């Protein structure tokens, strides 16, 4: 092996919540406190014809060695959650959208609640109103009972339905990093190519700085794919939110703008509108939406995190085809949405005449003079009354597994199917059963569900991947143990010596 190649046991590409969840889970010795037996087995026994339930149990002790050499590379930052910090810092987001039990800690699902109480920071929690029912009057509760509408949240779980402040969540993640000694593990490098040698059963991962050789790779990147943006006059006249969060384009802008357009419909677009107005970096903002404003507490249907979540998740896992799962995912997410907090903020800015919301609209900018758009047409008929200084596209991205450049060699040698841009992975989130290349985040959606791209999906996906890695290492150890036993028998039964046995083991 070349001396200039870096050798490690596990290489994680991406230092965001998914990467952190994976690294922490690989270091956690008692992860089964989080998961029920049914969740560990992931409903395999329902589909299996030959199952001995007495022999199947969740792994209650992590047998992954503490000496496991884990390396993490990230294109954006040399620290954990670098791009996450960029996004939340740029948009000035005070609280997460997710509830308290969405976090990357593999040890305790209620860990962030305990952290808030232990550090005396309960005041940094914001209640998610309207889903538990305790804010309703007795009369309102009676009316709901008369309607016999299903209750989404069990009152016993109300403590979970608070949202942490951004500093609280970030500090909790730092406590996870320190607990598992994950400091100094991340280096800022852009992954350029991944190749796999089936003979040696090792990956060669090339970045813009180093070459890594390892037996296991985990892809824990953010929403990589094809962004919904045509780059008109980039970066002087417009940009996509990806450019903001990668710090390619500064945000809020360094110079004050008179009139700005934000195109989107999800929470990020609403946050950008608010940030521009709040920071006084824009006198007027046009908020252009393709449809109406959709309001959700989370970016998927509420029932996926409430008392019916086990039913929905089991339904999802029991579907026969990935096409059916993709349809269920699209239905649950149903495009971009804002939460009630930002809906109120949007309406307040509208009342102040600093924000104009254009629903069911599309724009076509033209006549760029080097400083501004002199003409922006809405719905091919109406022209905005004033020139536009800048256009921000908060239009998200489409999953497109076949266009991820650094996986080109893997796809060429061992192609797999895709559905709606998502790869068809194994139940253990592997590329296939012969290649231990794992995926977290949105790329694992067909196996995790609608929450795969969220903080909850990071922890669930990390559990599956770590369990699979543990099984692989245990099998490898059994093979090594058998080889050692066979070598000893050869020594006893023959005239061989230890030097000959060692030579055989090396070869």
Grade residue 448 by pLDDT with cuts at 50, 70 and 90.
Answer: very high
Give me the helix-helix angle, 267-278 and 340-351, nearest 10°.
Answer: 40
Domain range summary for the chain, segments of one domain joined by +: 6-125+164-224+399-477, 126-163, 226-299+335-395
| DSSP string for residues in 457-468 | HHHHHHHHHHHH
Average pLDDT over residues 424-433: 95
Average pLDDT over residues 488-507: 52
* pLDDT over 60 (residue 160): no
Average pLDDT over residues 297-303: 77
CA dihedral 135, 138, 139, 142 (to 10 degrees): 100
Instruction: Please answer whether residues 498 and 491 qualify as being in contact, where contact means their C-beta atoms are separated by less than 8 angstroms.
Output: yes
User: What is the pTM for the complete model shown?
Assistant: 0.84
Average pLDDT over residues 289-315: 80
Count other C-beta atoms under 10 Å from residue 227's C-beta: 18
* pLDDT over 80 (residue 53): no
- What value, to the nearest 5°, has the Cα angle with vertex 449 and ends 419 and 415? 30
The pair phi, psi for residue 138, each rounded to 5°, is: -60, -40
**Would you put residue 231 in left (φ > 0), alpha (ψ -120 to 50) or beta?**
left
Per-residue pLDDT at 5:
83
Give residues with Cβ within 8 angstroms of 112, minimum separation 6.
100, 101, 103, 105, 164, 168, 169, 172
The yes/no answer on whether domain 6-125+164-224+399-477 falls in CATH 3.50.50.60 is: yes
What is the distance of C-alpha 393 from the center of its chain? 21
Grade residue 282 by pLDDT with cuts at 50, 70 and 90.
Answer: very high
Give the length of the chain.
507
Comparison of pLDDT for 90 and 154, the residue scoring more:
90
In what order do the strands lie in the sheet containing 382-383? 363-368, 373-378, 382-383
Instruction: Please answer whether residues 216 and 10 qualify as being in contact, where contact means their C-beta atoms are separated by less than 8 angstroms.
Output: yes
Closest CA to 104 of 36, 186, 24, 11: 24
- What value, to the nearest 5°, has the Cα angle with vertex 228 and ends 223 and 232? 130
Instruction: Please answer whether residues 4 and 205 qualify as being in contact, where contact means their C-beta atoms are separated by less than 8 angstroms.
Output: no
Q: What is the mean pLDDT of the chain?
A: 84
| Residues facing 207 on adjacent strands | 191
| Cα separations in angstroms, 24 against 29, 81, 178, 188, 291 | 10, 13, 10, 19, 40
Q: How far apart are CA 310 and CA 39, in angstroms?
A: 9
226-299+335-395: CATH, from 3.10.20.30, 3.50.50.60, 2.40.160.60, 3.10.129.10: 3.50.50.60
Instruction: Please answer whether residues 115 and 165 qualify as being in contact, where contact means their C-beta atoms are separated by less than 8 angstroms.
Output: no
Per-residue pLDDT at 475:
75
Per-residue pLDDT at 101:
87
pLDDT (tens digit per residue) in 3-40: 578 999 999 999 999 999 999 999 998 775 444 444 44
pLDDT (tens digit per residue) in 185-204: 999 999 999 999 999 999 99
Average pLDDT over residues 49-78: 69
Grade residue 47 by pLDDT with cuts at 50, 70 and 90.
Answer: very low
Closest CA to 475 of 33, 157, 64, 57: 64
**DSSP state letter for 451:** G
Instruction: Please answer whether residues 91 and 57 qualify as being in contact, where contact means their C-beta atoms are separated by less than 8 angstroms.
Output: no
Per-residue pLDDT at 46:
47
**DSSP state letter for 335:** S
% of the chain at pLDDT higher than 90:
62
């Amino acid at each position: 092996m070349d001396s200039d190649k870096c050798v490690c046991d596990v290489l994680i590409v991406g230092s965001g919540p998914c990467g952190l969840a994976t690294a922490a889970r690989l270091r956690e010795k008692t992860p089964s406190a989080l998961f029920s037996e049914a969740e560990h087995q992931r409903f395999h026994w329902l589909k299996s014809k030959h199952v001995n339930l007495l022999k199947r149990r969740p792994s209650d002790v992590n047998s992954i060695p503490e000496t496991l050499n884990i390396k993490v590379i990230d294109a954006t930052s040399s620290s954990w959650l670098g791009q996450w910090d960029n996004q939340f810092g740029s948009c000035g987001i005070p609280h997460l959208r997710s509830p308290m039990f969405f976090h990357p800690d593999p040890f305790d699902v209620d860990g962030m609640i305990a952290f808030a109480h232990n550090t005396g920071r309960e005041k940094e929690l914001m209640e998610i109103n309207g889903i538990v029912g305790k804010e309703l009057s007795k009369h309102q509760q009676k009316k709901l009972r008369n309607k016999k509408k299903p209750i989404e949240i069990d009152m016993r779980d109300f403590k979970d339905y608070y949202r942490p402040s951004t500093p609280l969540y970030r500090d909790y993640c730092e406590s996870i990093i320190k607990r598992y000694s994950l400091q100094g593990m991340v280096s800022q490098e852009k992954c350029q190519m991944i190749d796999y040698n089936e003979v040696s059963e090792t990956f060669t991962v090339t970045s813009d700085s180093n070459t890594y050789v390892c037996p296991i790779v985990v892809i824990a990147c953010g929403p990589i794919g094809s962004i919904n943006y045509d780059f008109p006059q980039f970066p002087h006249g417009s940009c996509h939110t990806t450019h903001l969060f990668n710090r390619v384009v500064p945000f809020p802008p360094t110079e004050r703008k008179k009139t700005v357009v934000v195109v989107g419909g999800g929470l990020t677009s609403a946050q950008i509108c608010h940030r521009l107005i709040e920071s006084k970096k824009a006198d007027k903002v046009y908020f252009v939406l393709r449809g109406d404003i959709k309001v959700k507490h989370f970016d998927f249907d509420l029932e996926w995190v409430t008392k019916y979540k086990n039913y929905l998740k089991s339904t999802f896992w029991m579907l026969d085809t990935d096409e059916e799962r993709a349809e269920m995912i699209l239905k649950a997410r149903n495009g971009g949405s804002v939460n009630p907090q930002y809906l109120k903020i949007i309406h307040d800015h509208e009342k102040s005449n600093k924000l104009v919301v254009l629903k069911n609209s599309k724009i076509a900018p033209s006549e760029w003079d080097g400083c501004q758009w002199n003409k922006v047409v809405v719905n091919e008929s109406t022209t905005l009354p004033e020139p536009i200084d800048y256009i921000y596209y908060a239009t998200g991205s489409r999953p497109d597994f076949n266009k991820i450049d650094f996986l080109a060699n893997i796809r060429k040698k061992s192609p797999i199917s895709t559905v709606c841009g998502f790869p068809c992975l194994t139940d253990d989130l592997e590329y296939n059963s012969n290649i231990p290349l794992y995926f977290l985040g949105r790329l694992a959606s067909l196996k995790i569900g609608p929450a795969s791209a969220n903080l909850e999906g990071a922890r669930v996906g990390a559990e599956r991947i770590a369990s699979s890695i543990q099984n692989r290492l245990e099998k490898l150890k059994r093979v090594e143990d058998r080889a050692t036993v066979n070598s000893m028998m050869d020594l006893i039964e023959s005239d061989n010596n230890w030097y000959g046995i060692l030579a055989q083991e090396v070869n």
